[in-house]
Amino acid sequence: MPLVVQKFGGSSVATAERITAAARRAIRAKQEGNDVIVVVSARGDTTDELIELAREISEQPPAREMDMLLSTGEQISIALMAMAIQALGQPAISFTGAQIGIVTDSYHTKARIKNISTDRMRQALQEGQIVIVAGFQGVDENYNITTLGRGGSDTTAVALAAVMKHSGDSDGVVGCEFY
């Protein structure tokens, strides 16, 4: 079955209405006969707001703790997106980068992806679910949360499309769409 990775940026998930519109787009792709993986960014200005919160505490917050803090923005978005898709009558499941096995180096705030496991995503897709993945994040080999830097959700979407294309039974037909 063909696979499409749809990436929705912060403005695309900034409000409940926009999340619902994005959910409808993912459902349409599923109804057209595709397996669907959705990668989302943090909502609206969430990342900037989290950075401001950190700077209220420390002028130079530790990079590891910034990754811990900033990764929460995408986690909010994946849960809301999964809820929206489910409210529209379709099965969906949300995953953090760690939950799907995005392994990075240990360079906090600007990590690089080293490996991605596809097993958990493939299992959910085979169960008919739309898979929602938090962009921008992974874990290092010591299970520390890492982030990929600004634009990291785009990186996540492209990396997932590439690994899914070359590691399974999507018939080599994988699309990657940005919204």
Sheet strands side by side (includes 113-116): 113-116, 102-104, 137-139, 145-147
What are the tens digits of pLDDT across the range 2-37? 999 999 999 999 999 999 999 999 999 999 999 999
What's residue 166's pLDDT? Answer: 87
Interior CA angle at 78 toward 89 and 108, to 5°? 165
pTM, entire model: 0.95
State the pLDDT at residue 85: 98
Residue 143: other Cβ atoms inside 10 A: 8
Min mean pLDDT across 7-21, 80-94, 114-128, 165-179 is at 165-179
pLDDT at 171: 65
Determine how β-strand 102-104 pairs with β-strand 145-147. Answer: unpaired
User: Mean of the per-residue pLDDT values for the chain?
Assistant: 96
Given this model, what pLDDT does residue 169 score? 58
Q: pLDDT class for 170, splitting at 50, 70, 90? A: low
At 106-162, the pLDDT tens digits run 999 999 999 999 999 999 999 999 999 999 999 999 999 999 998 999 999 999 999
